[in-house]
Structures are given as C-alpha cells and as structure tokens.
A and B are shown apart, each in its own frame.
Chain A
Amino acid sequence: MVATRHVNVKQGDVVLLVGTMKGAFLARSNGARRSWEVGGPYFPGHAIYALAYDAREGRQRLWASPQSEHWGATLSTSDDFGRTWTNSESAPIKFPEESGVALKRVWQIMPGRADQPQALYAGVEPAALFESRDGGATWSLNHGLWDHPHRARWQPGGGGLCLHTIIADPVRRGRLFVAVSTGGVYRSDDGGRNWRSANQGVRAEFLPDKYPEFGQCVHKIVQHPAHPDRLFLQNHWGLYRTENAGDSWEDIAHGVPSDFGFAMAMHPHDAETVYILPIESDMFRCTPEGKLRVYRTRNAGRSWEPLTRGLPQKNALETVLRDAMAADPLDPAGVYFGTRSGKVFGSPNGGAAWDVVIEGLPPVVCVKAAVVGDPRKVRVPKARAAGAAARPKRRGGAKAAARPKRRAAAPRRRAAGPAKKK
C-alpha cells in the first residue's frame, strides 16, 4: 500500500489542490512559490474530479470527492490539510428515488458567496446541481434545474453528461451560473428556482443548427468578481465573452492556434486577463504542434499572446482538462495547470515564466489554488520574481536567484511517491 505523505501547511502558504485519476495531492509553498512540498496521495485509487478550499468563517477546510468505480462517489472534508478526512456512512449526495437515476461522479464542489458561508454547491454527473445550506452537512437536488424542460435533451459529451462549473455571482445575490456538457450555460436570477439558457452566439459545431438555444458543449466559464456581468467561455470549439451576464456572447478567438480547448482561468485581480490552453482539435486532443503553450489575453479577448518560457516547446503532446487550471490570489498571481501526463506546471509571476511543480502523478483532472490566511499579508518577493521572469531560463541559476532568503530556514522534504520539483 502506498504511503501517504503529509505537508505542514502554515499561515500565508500557497496550497495547490491536485486531483488525479488515482488520488488527490497537495502542494504547498510560501509566497515565493519557487519550491514545493508535496503531500499525498489521499484516497489512493480513487478518481478525484472535484476539490475545493473553503476559507469562509475562518475555516481551513478542504473538500474532495473521491470516486470509486466499485463503491461510488462521496464527499469528504479535511480541516487539517489532509491528515484526516471525513468518511460519512451515508452518501452525502443522492438523487431522489423518483428521479430514477444514480450519482456517477461529482465534477465540481463550489463554496457559495462569502456572505452565505453555509452555502455550498456541487455539480454532478448525470448533469445536475446539488446545494447545501448547512455547510455541507446535508445536500439536496436543485429541482429548478432538474425539472427544466431542456434537461431531457441534454446529451453526454466525451466526458459524460456533467454539470462541471458553478459560479455564484458575488454581486447579485441570487444569481447563479452553471455550465453543462452538453447543455450549455444556464443562469438563475432567483437563487436557483428558475433557470434560463444563456447561449446566444455560442456555436455548436456538432449540431445541424450551429447556434441553438441550448445543447452547446461548454467546457468552462469564468467570471471576475469586480466585473460580474462579464464572463469568458471556452467552448468545444470557440472562445467567447459576454458583457451582459450571458444574454449574448461574442467570439474572441483572435490569434490563438486553436479555439478548441478545455481549461480556462481568470486572473484574480485583473478583469481583462484570462488564461487558456488551446488543444488542437476534438479529434486530436493534444497541444498544437507539440508545443505546450498557455495563451493569455490582457484585453478581455481582443488579442491573445503565447506564454512559453519554461514550458516544453518540442514533442509536448499534452492535454489539459477543463478543471485543471487555476490562479492563486497573490500579487503577482500564480497560475497553475495539470496535464493528463501527470505534470503540474506553475508560474509565480502571472505566466511570465513557468516551471514544473510536480511530475510523475497519475493523470491530472483538477487543480485548485488557495492561500491560507489573508493573501494581502503574504510576503511576495515581487522584484525578484519579475527579474527571474525577465531572464532566460537557466537550470538552477534563475530559480536560485529568485528564492527568498527566508526560504532557507524552511526544511524541504522529498515527496514519497511522485517526484517534485527540485
């Protein structure tokens, strides 16, 4: 049996939550984000499609959904960064008997708004939204969406018929967005009682009617809290932006090698900046030209630039899935993504330069990033990080120069299973 290694997480640490097909992992670093300590595997042998960190009301709670092909899917929490996890006797998420269906997988766990600290949401397969009003003690099916007349005509995509993205609008109380593959984007303005499709302008390449009311295979949507009516959308073919909360979408695939892709991440501080990772096509779901390139827009999609420093640009046929890219809330922001080949890459400087955070993992399906405590109080060596990004990447040299001195005081541990960044 594989030994699980634990990490010693402290206030001010950056924590990456990494879900793979064979278990969950944690990586922690300080504000420099140059050296990572890796813990795990947690739930070895289970697929972990959904992970979340809930810091509301002073919590330091990890959420995970371990899924076993044998024993089904459940939810588990840890308040000590993975040392112990709950294992409830009764499955927390169950479809009602009259639905006639059974839970297959949890694709997303999303803490609700900050001013609703007991609210949590879960997106599941078959596509449905579950809600908790008591901090996750009990969950119930959102009937407004489940009873929507469109639902019976949603179709499974390659990953299954899943509700994979949930956004609780931080400004308009009661407004929720969900994304379904394949069903499209749906919005509620009344706390989830009523839903309407929000797909106007989004292409459905695989249907005779290319612009249907619903049925699009939306892979990811993101929103910036300071600009909540603007959302970005990575489609199964197509990149889009809305300025009216999904009433209509505009094509923003300007200057990308492919507008097919899965992952998309919002910059934590800049409502104009979004990251994507283009994939060649739905027939060949790998990075175009064997180059692992993150693309970034800094003008809300009017143009995109490749970010390649530190990323392999030869023979890199990688796949990054829809929930496997995230940004941390520090300044400069850290950006992270995981590949199906079991690597996690990270950039401590908003994408200017990248390095391997972990390698040798099972296929990565989920990456989340969090800061323990108040991100504003975290010491970030900005000047050094910027300097490192500006220099050509040299093995060891640039990284060593960028390391803060106080890092030397922290003991570095080797990961038990997966190799970690040296």
Chain B
Amino acid sequence: MAVVFHIPGYLRAFTGGAARVEFAASPATVGEALGLLWSAHPGVRDRMLTEQGEVRPHVNVFVGDESIRFSGGLATPLPGACEISIVPAVSGG
C-alpha cells in the first residue's frame, strides 16, 4: 500500500521541489505517516508543528477530504492506502 502526500508550494523548498511525495508503507496513523515525511524531508516538520508538537493553528491536514482536526488529530487512524494533503488555512490580512 502507499501513502501519498500533497505538498503545498511553501513547503516544497524542503521536499526538493516535489509537490507529491509517496511512501510504500502502511502507517497506522496520520502521525506515523507524517513521521515518514519528516524523516525524509526534515524541514517540513517545524513548519507544520510547534515545538510543543501541535499542528500549527493555520495548517490543515486532510486525509482524503476529511480534516484531521475533527477526526482525532495526529492520532487519526489511516484506512490503508490514502492521500494526505497539507494545506495552509485561509487566513491572513
């Protein structure tokens, strides 16, 4: 099975420019899946998380079409093969 990440433009500076990053693995949770991404591309981690390990308030993570804010956060279980999108929230001025 595979987990596919969709990387927003800002974070591609840390993925070698890749907009799509795929892992042939079966992580059990979103947190485990992100661990794969952060191991491969360490610069992504601190942009997504505060130093307290929380997803930054204006960063959204979707599994398929579902935001993990409403499904258990980083502990959200994964259904197997899936696509995970990292999306900056609509915010700013």
By a beta-carbon cutoff of 8 Å, the part of chain A in contact with chain B is 45, 68-72, 74, 87-91, 94-97, 100-103
Q: Which of B43, B50, B52, B92 contacts A69 (CB 8 A)?
A: B92
- Least distance between B37 CB and chain A CB atoms (Å): 13
B23 sits at the interface (CB 8 A): no
- Least distance between B51 CB and chain A CB atoms (Å): 4
Contact A90 B46 (CB under 8 A): yes
Contact with A along B1-17 (1 / 0, CB 8 A): 00000000011011000
Q: A90 contacts which chain B residues (CB < 8 A)?
A: 42-43, 45-46
Contact A70 B52 (CB under 8 A): no
Q: Which of A45, A70, A89 contacts B46 (CB 8 A)?
A: A89
- Least distance between B54 CB and chain A CB atoms (Å): 7
Contact B58 A91 (CB under 8 A): no
- Least distance between A4 CB and chain B CB atoms (Å): 15
Q: What is the CA–CA distance of A94 and B14 in the complex, to the nearest angstrom?
A: 19
Q: A96 contacts which chain B residues (CB < 8 A)?
A: 51
Knowing that A91-B51, A94-B46, A95-B52 touch, tell me 10 more A-B residue pairs with CB under 8 angstroms.
A69-B58, A69-B92, A70-B88, A71-B56, A72-B47, A72-B50, A87-B13, A97-B53, A101-B52, A102-B54
Question: Provided the pairs A91-B51, A97-B51, A102-B51 are in contact, do residues A70 and B42 lie with their beta carbons within 8 angstroms?
Answer: no
- Least distance between B9 CB and chain A CB atoms (Å): 10
B59 sits at the interface (CB 8 A): yes
Q: B43 contacts which chain A residues (CB < 8 A)?
A: 87-90
Q: What is the CA–CA distance of A329 and B89 in the complex, to the nearest angstrom?
A: 44
Q: What is the CA–CA distance of A251 and B7 in the complex, to the nearest angstrom?
A: 56
Q: What is the CA–CA distance of A100 and B50 in the complex, to the nearest angstrom?
A: 11
- Least distance between B61 CB and chain A CB atoms (Å): 12
Would you list 5 pairs from A and B whose C-beta atoms are within 8 A, ordered by A residue?
A69-B58, A71-B56, A74-B46, A89-B43, A97-B52
- Least distance between B31 CB and chain A CB atoms (Å): 17
Q: What is the CA–CA distance of A264 and B53 in the complex, to the nearest angstrom?
A: 38
- Least distance between B6 CB and chain A CB atoms (Å): 15
Q: What is the CA–CA distance of A97 and B50 in the complex, to the nearest angstrom?
A: 10
By a beta-carbon cutoff of 8 Å, the part of chain B in contact with chain A is 10-11, 13-14, 42-43, 45-48, 50-54, 56, 58-59, 88-89, 91-92
Those 6 A-B pairs whose CB atoms lie nearest each other, nearest first: A89-B43, A102-B50, A91-B46, A94-B51, A71-B47, A70-B88
Contact B52 A102 (CB under 8 A): yes
Contact A71 B50 (CB under 8 A): no
Q: B48 contacts which chain A residues (CB < 8 A)?
A: 71
Q: Which of A69, A88, A89, A103 contacts B91 (CB 8 A)?
A: A69
In the complex, the chain A residue whose C-beta lies closest to that of B14 is A89
Q: What is the CA–CA distance of A189 and B11 in the complex, to the nearest angstrom?
A: 43
In the complex, the chain A residue whose C-beta lies closest to that of B60 is A70
- Least distance between B74 CB and chain A CB atoms (Å): 16
Q: A101 contacts which chain B residues (CB < 8 A)?
A: 52
Q: What is the CA–CA distance of A204 and B9 in the complex, to the nearest angstrom?
A: 46
In the complex, the chain A residue whose C-beta lies closest to that of B8 is A70
- Least distance between A104 CB and chain B CB atoms (Å): 9
- Least distance between B58 CB and chain A CB atoms (Å): 5
Q: What is the CA–CA distance of A68 and B92 in the complex, to the nearest angstrom?
A: 9
Contact B52 A72 (CB under 8 A): no
Contact A89 B42 (CB under 8 A): yes
Q: B91 contacts which chain A residues (CB < 8 A)?
A: 69-70
- Least distance between B5 CB and chain A CB atoms (Å): 16
Q: A97 contacts which chain B residues (CB < 8 A)?
A: 51-53
In the complex, the chain B residue whose C-beta lies closest to that of A95 is B51
In the complex, the chain A residue whose C-beta lies closest to that of B92 is A69
Q: A95 contacts which chain B residues (CB < 8 A)?
A: 51-52
- Least distance between A227 CB and chain B CB atoms (Å): 40
Q: B14 contacts which chain A residues (CB < 8 A)?
A: 89
Contact A70 B10 (CB under 8 A): yes
Contact A72 B88 (CB under 8 A): no
Contact B54 A71 (CB under 8 A): no
In the complex, the chain A residue whose C-beta lies closest to that of B91 is A69
Residue among A68, A70, A100, A102 with the highest chain B CB neighbour number at 10 A: A70
- Least distance between A233 CB and chain B CB atoms (Å): 31
Q: A69 contacts which chain B residues (CB < 8 A)?
A: 58, 91-92
Contact B51 A103 (CB under 8 A): yes
Contact A72 B13 (CB under 8 A): no
Q: Which of B45, B51, B58 contacts A70 (CB 8 A)?
A: B58
Q: What is the CA–CA distance of A96 and B52 in the complex, to the nearest angstrom?
A: 8
